[in-house]
Homo-oligomer: A and B are copies of this chain.
Amino acid sequence: MASTRKSRGGLTYAHSGVDTDRRARSLAALLAAARYDSPASHGCPVGPIGHYAGLIRIGRETLAVTTDTVGTKVLLAQQLGRYQEIGEDVVAINVNDLASVGARAAGLVDVINCPRPDPTVFAALGRGIRRGLAAAECALLGGETAVVPDLLKAIDVGGTAIGFFPNGRRPVTGGRIRPGDRILGIPSSGFHANGYTLLRAVLRKRSMDLRRPRPGARVPLGVELLRATRTYTRASEALADASYIHGFGHLSGGGVLNLLRLRPDVAFVLDRWPELSDQFAWIRELGEVADRELFRTFNMGVGFAAIVAPKGVAPALRALRRAGFADSVEVGQVTEGRGVHLSGWGISYHEYA
């Protein structure tokens, strides 16, 4: 691209090659044209398109369906010749979206498109997929592999996950969120699988060496940046049946803006955001990306949020500890108003894009 630098504040996602406004307009055009109401004999969709997962009532069960791809993180994997993390990611990013509506992960199908299939790469992807499935206790139901050298510059790894609501559990949609609620955050394991187009632009601009550790780190930078997405299925399972749970948020692409998907008519005030972990402090210190852009591109250290009634804070933290998420912390509160506000950072967002 001609320029990757804005006049103020450095790299943005648009300048690194992703124009979120144009994407939003394209998506709106598709959804408007695709509108079709299927007959009830073919299942009854529940709620609008656009939440973390599509919900549909089929016979006597309500199902949740999510689909997502690992995106350009694969280009980093390709540079390093390591693919296991990508396999784990493709499961995690999908089951985490299921976790966001309180659905229990049941099955996954994967889609691997590539210019040329390599058994070694596929075996590594398979090992990662198994790790992801085990973390979510989810079955592999099938998949699709297309060899499309004319279409792809590198391997593309995506998937779709199906979940359900056991024993009369109701979907957690955020509709019960109200001012006074508290926001708990569960740390991420790193960049997960979002923002890699921007991240790679920073690496290129700074001519970073992926094979050496960054200052203060012990593993090579590339290995650190590839770390697999944390799986939040057990966190959601530990909380989803509790009456104090009012919403879940998966801070994937869009970072803290994901909270806006839960309810448009309250304010999410993140006034206790944890100190940035090494990785996020490092990307910030490089100084190529403004804080406002960082928090709407990366998870900035918190991968999953639970919005709970005030009386739920202590029991939720206890349940999370028992489920293996002892590092969960309170990160903010819900107030009257609108938008997402990072009080300590002087940042407010009012729209998703």
Given A59-B166, A137-B38: A150 and B72 interface contact (C-beta under 8 Å)? yes
Which of A36, A51, A65 has most chain B Cβ within 10 Å?
A: A36
Which of A105, A109, A146, A153 has most chain B Cβ within 10 Å?
A: A146
A107 touches B65 (CB 8 A): yes
A33 touches B127 (CB 8 A): yes
A27 CB to closest chain B CB (Å) equals 5
A230 CB to closest chain B CB (Å) equals 18
B17 touches A147 (CB 8 A): yes
Which label, helix, strand, loop or mixed, suits the secondary structure of the A interface?
mixed
Question: Quick check: is A206 within 8 A (CB to CB) of the other chain?
Answer: no
B27 touches A122 (CB 8 A): yes
A82 CB to closest chain B CB (Å) equals 14
| Alpha-carbon separation in the docked complex, A146 to B150 (Å) | 19
Question: Quick check: is A242 within 8 A (CB to CB) of the other chain?
Answer: no
Question: Quick check: is A258 within 8 A (CB to CB) of the other chain?
Answer: no
One of B17, B111, B123 near A32 (C-beta < 8 A): B123
B197 touches A141 (CB 8 A): no
One of B33, B56, B126, B137 near A42 (C-beta < 8 A): B137
Residues of B within 8 A of A109 (CB): 54, 65-67, 160
Question: Quick check: is A213 within 8 A (CB to CB) of the other chain?
Answer: no
One of B49, B53, B142 near A49 (C-beta < 8 A): B142
B113 touches A148 (CB 8 A): no
Chain A positions 99 through 139: 1 when the CB is less than 8 Å from some CB of chain B, otherwise 0: 00000111101111100111111111111011001100111
Question: Quick check: is A5 within 8 A (CB to CB) of the other chain?
Answer: no
| Alpha-carbon separation in the docked complex, A139 to B55 (Å) | 11
Question: Quick check: is A43 within 8 A (CB to CB) of the other chain?
Answer: yes
- What copy number does this chain have within its complex? 2
Closest B residue to A35 using CB positions: B130
Question: Quick check: is A60 within 8 A (CB to CB) of the other chain?
Answer: yes
Interface size on A, residues (CB 8 A): 97
B153 touches A156 (CB 8 A): no
Closest B residue to A37 using CB positions: B139
One of B19, B23, B113, B116 near A69 (C-beta < 8 A): B113
Question: Quick check: is A347 within 8 A (CB to CB) of the other chain?
Answer: no
Which of A71, A105, A142 has most chain B Cβ within 10 Å?
A: A142
Residues of B within 8 A of A156 (CB): 113, 148, 151-152, 156
| Alpha-carbon separation in the docked complex, A63 to B65 (Å) | 12
Residues of B within 8 A of A210 (CB): none
A99 CB to closest chain B CB (Å) equals 13
| Alpha-carbon separation in the docked complex, A189 to B56 (Å) | 31
B106 touches A43 (CB 8 A): yes
A112 touches B72 (CB 8 A): no
Residues of B within 8 A of A140 (CB): 34-36, 49
A30-B122, A38-B133 given; 8 more Cβ-contact pairs under 8 Å = A26-B122, A27-B122, A31-B126, A60-B61, A67-B144, A109-B160, A113-B156, A151-B153
Binding site for B on A (CB under 8 A): 17-19, 22-23, 25-39, 41-43, 45, 49-51, 53-56, 58-61, 63, 65-69, 71-72, 74-75, 87, 104-107, 109-113, 116-127, 129-130, 133-134, 137-154, 156, 158, 160, 162, 164, 166, 197, 200
Please list the 4 inter-chain residue pairs (A to B) with the smallest Cβ-Cβ separation, ordered nearest first. A54-B141, A33-B126, A43-B106, A26-B117
